[in-house]
Amino acid sequence: MFGCISRGSRVGGRIRPCSAPPRFARPCVLDDGLVPAIARPWILTANPRRPLTRSRQGQRRPPSAFPVVDGALQPAHLHVYQANLHNSGVCQQRYLKYQEQAMMGGGENATTRHTQRNKKLLVRDRLRMLLDDEDYLELSPFAGLDLDYGSIPSAGCLTGIGKINGLWCVFIANNATVKGGTAYPITVKKQLRAQDVAMQNRLPCVYLVDSGGAFLPLQSEIFPDKNHGGRTFYNEAIMSAMKIPQVAVVCGSCTAGGAYVPTMAEEAVIVHKIGTIFLGGPPLVKAATGEEVSPEDLGGARVHAEVSGCVDHFAPLERDAYEHARNIISTLNFELPADENEAVEEPLHSVEDLKGLAPRSYNHSLDVRMIVSRLTDGSRFQEFKARYGTTLVTGFGKIEGHLVGIVASNGELTYEASLKGSHFVQLCDQRDVPIIFLQNTAPKPAMTPSQHKAEAHSNRLKAQSSMMAAVACASTPRITVVIGGCHGADSYAMCGRSFDPNFLFLWPNARVSLVAPGCSDALVEEEHDVTHLKKKLEEESSAFFSSARLWDDGVILPQDTRKVLNKCLKIIKQQEYQLSKERLRAPLLRM
């Protein structure tokens, strides 16, 4: 899911510290040994159980004075740890299987057609040329797998956030080996989510367009509704007005609706003999007028760079196009800070332990502080209201030097826990501290079985509503990681998808459903229905089912969580360095 192979040694002069302001790239020198992206490349070794201070530039800084949280595993918990570990192993196998499926794109024949007959680069090779390195955050790589209308690897397009000349940018890149890059409903959803990420985090956005337009057999699920295809173009205008820069590279077909992606972007590049833009292709022209015309003459690079003006840059070869795109990004008005030389403490415990802490089920949840102690710098955690509402753990810590507030489920979201959650979320908001939610909610909703419990339940309802309001209205960035269960209303208060976190990831053991499998018996009467519902919940609540439908930004392995959070926090912070941000009254007008 995430690449990290530095290509600094392969591409002379293109890598520079992210702290330096973007500048124009030198002519690109690429070798031809393009290796396939490695989706989960961190080989994390166990940390010694003592504080380590890692310096970014060989300097030391005093460690944070937050207390060290006790994250040691007690012998009494060993059997739970072992059961979790076994389950994590099974989940990881499934993760690797899906990853392989996603990496294969449209399969061997389509890949040969794409590269040999159509003479185009594969989407990951394109990204290698566009981005500084492969240390990018890919979003939802498992989207589109095993859907009702088929398996659409990576939903037919890669989205994510990578650096271009030191600047984090969202990329949306069609994979034309998957049905000619056509847009399925899930493709549209993935593109819109990537634009959302760009908007919420104020990130420049680069589109690599190579698409046959809408997948016609499913047109009714792509065209008419608010969050269907047209929303992409609406967003382009709104993003432009918000001063979120957008660049398009036409490296394949842009047909019908797809033609508006480059023409609504602020700057567009087209590749000679490969890129085409038209509302209706040659077959339509022939059907309408009887004329025979080549794609090149109808809407090729020369036509659009020299006659129509639909694009702004002509690239003789694909690699030139990515160089143009990189240079365009260098013209953006960002001023990045100098290197901070910050010393960062590693957690005292190995991140690998998280595999044994990832709960196989709610009953296998250990104290969430053990998880926190494997995520924060030096395992330090300044706990807030430690003795009140103990089923929610709240407090401050640092992740690779970034100060964060942590809100972590440690049992049911009770009345007291919800009040504490509201208080802490507002505190973080007040101080502009980003919040990390570690979500593991109870498997079934709290019922009101007797009248005398009704008052307690009503109070809990009010307190949870108050926490939901605090979470919904918090203006500070929020990142949610579902480390176990994501069930019922508790998941809203813990910043579920509908509460608009900047990013939401799932661990592979996560379960996402209104009630957990096996907890629905009271809700249906017939035994047959109970069995049927249980089976359905079992299938539909898996993390992979969720990620295939884009209810999250991807499944991440527990041991990668600290790295992913660090990357997200850096990405979110970048908006502080954009020099001019006020919204324009009108979007940029193209000629």
Give the interface with ligand COA as residue ranges (CB under 6 A). 113, 118, 179-180, 182, 212-216, 253, 255-256, 281
Residue recorded with tokens 């969430």 = 368
Q: Minimal distance in Å, beta carbon 152 to ligand COA?
A: 12
Query: Which residues, in sequence order, are CB contacts of 576 under 8 Å at separation 6+?
Result: none
Q: Minimal distance in Å, beta carbon 330 to ligand COA?
A: 32
Cβ nearer to ligand COA, comparing 275 with 281: 281
- Tokens representing 359 are 């709960």
CA 49 to chain centre: 32
Contact status, residue 588 vs residue 240, Cβ threshold 8 Å: yes
Cβ nearer to ligand COA, comparing 126 with 179: 179
Cβ nearer to ligand COA, comparing 163 with 304: 304
Task: Give the angle subtended at the CA of 355 by the CAs of 160 and 502, to the nearest 5°.
Answer: 30
Cβ nearer to ligand COA, comparing 179 with 190: 179
Contact status, residue 440 vs residue 483, Cβ threshold 8 Å: yes
Q: Minimal distance in Å, beta carbon 215 to ligand COA?
A: 5
* Phi, psi angles (nearest 5°) of residue 275: -85, 135
Q: Minimal distance in Å, beta carbon 252 to ligand COA?
A: 7
| Burial environment of residue 158 by CB neighbours within 10 A (0 to 12, 13 to 18, 19 or more) | buried
The Cβ-side half-sphere exposure at 423, using a 13 Å CA radius, reads: 14
Q: Minimal distance in Å, beta carbon 76 to ligand COA?
A: 57
Q: Minimal distance in Å, beta carbon 180 to ligand COA?
A: 3
Q: Minimal distance in Å, beta carbon 112 to ligand COA?
A: 11
| Burial environment of residue 107 by CB neighbours within 10 A (0 to 12, 13 to 18, 19 or more) | exposed
* H/E run at residue 327: helix 318-329
Task: Give the angle subtended at the CA of 445 by the CAs of 474 and 467, to the nearest 5°.
Answer: 15
- Tokens representing 133 are 């390195």
Beta bridge partner(s), residue 157? 174
What single string gives the DSSP state of each residue in 341-359?
--EEEEPSS-GGGHHHHS-
Cβ nearer to ligand COA, comparing 159 with 253: 253
Separation of alpha carbons 204 and 168, rounded Å? 7
Residue recorded with tokens 């007291």 = 416
Cβ nearer to ligand COA, comparing 166 with 252: 252
Cβ nearer to ligand COA, comparing 213 with 484: 213
Cβ nearer to ligand COA, comparing 96 with 285: 285
β-bridge pairing 157-164 and 313-315: unpaired
Q: Minimal distance in Å, beta carbon 227 to ligand COA?
A: 18
* Gyration radius (Cα) of the chain, Å: 25
Cβ nearer to ligand COA, comparing 4 with 279: 279
Cβ nearer to ligand COA, comparing 180 with 434: 180
Cβ nearer to ligand COA, comparing 213 with 411: 213
Residue recorded with tokens 């981005």 = 131
Cβ nearer to ligand COA, comparing 149 with 388: 149
Position 210: which residue type?
D
Separation of alpha carbons 485 and 362, rounded Å? 7
Q: Minimal distance in Å, beta carbon 212 to ligand COA?
A: 3
CA-CA-CA-CA torsion for 284, 286, 289, 294, nearest 10 degrees? 100
Q: Minimal distance in Å, beta carbon 126 to ligand COA?
A: 15
Q: Which residue is nearest to ligand COA (CB)?
A: 212
From the list 150, 2, 66, 96, the residue with the least C-alpha distance to 395 is: 66
Residue 158 backbone class (left: φ over 0; alpha: ψ -120 to 50; beta: rest): beta
Q: Minimal distance in Å, beta carbon 247 to ligand COA?
A: 22
Q: Minimal distance in Å, beta carbon 233 to ligand COA?
A: 14
